[in-house]
Amino acid sequence: MAVEPQADCLFCKIVSGDVPATVVRETDTTVAFRDINPQAPTHVLVIPKVHHPDGASLAAAEPAIAADVLREAGEVAAQEGIGASGYRVVFNTGSGAGQTVFHAHAHVLGGRGLQWPPG
């Protein structure tokens, strides 16, 4: 079940256009935009237009849209030219893992060497 846009959600406001963002791709169900505090030469966030608090909640409620987010992560990597060198797709889930915005989002990171484990 889709959750209505949340008045206090930053990413719902980016979806509605009330908060500006540098959008690099958009589909019927997703928006991809540059992270305001990039952690790599390419750092793009892919979000569903519908509000769910994290990636797992999105996948449980609307698996087709979760698939859209994952597919768009790959499209962003291709568009940004990082697909061949390798990139990382991250869903921080919970404040203990560094999640600060509780609207599902995939970080797409690349353009530099990426260590594993990430720390």
Regarding beta strands 30-34 and 106-110, do their DSSP bridges make them parallel or antiparallel, or are they unpaired?
A: unpaired
- Residue among 24 and 52 whose Cβ is closer to Zn ion: 52
Smaller CB separation from ligand 5GP, 10 or 70:
10
CB closer to ligand 5GP out of 58 and 84: 58
Cα–Cα distance for residue pair 57/60, rounded to 1 Å: 5
C-alpha to C-alpha distance for 66 and 59, rounded to whole angstroms: 5
Q: Is 104 in the site for Zn ion (CB under 5 A)?
A: no
| Footprint of Zn ion on 38-67 (CB under 5 A) | 51
Binds 103, which of ligand 5GP, Zn ion, none (CB < 5 to 8 A, cut-off by type)? Zn ion
Q: Residue 103 has which token pair?
A: 């609207």
| Whether residue 43 lies in the annotated active site | no
CA–CA distance, 109 with 107 (Å, rounded to integer) = 6
Contact between 36 and ligand 5GP (CB under 6 A)?
Answer: yes
For residue 115, what are the CA distances in angstroms to 88, 89, 112, 118? 10, 13, 10, 6
- Which of 51, 52, 105, 107 does the annotation list as catalytic? 105
- Would you count residue 95 as binding ligand 5GP (CB under 6 A)? no
Q: Decide: helix, strand or coil at residue 50.
A: coil
Q: Which residues bind ligand 5GP (CB under 6 A)?
A: 10, 19, 21, 33-37, 45, 92, 98-101
Residues acting as catalytic residues: 105
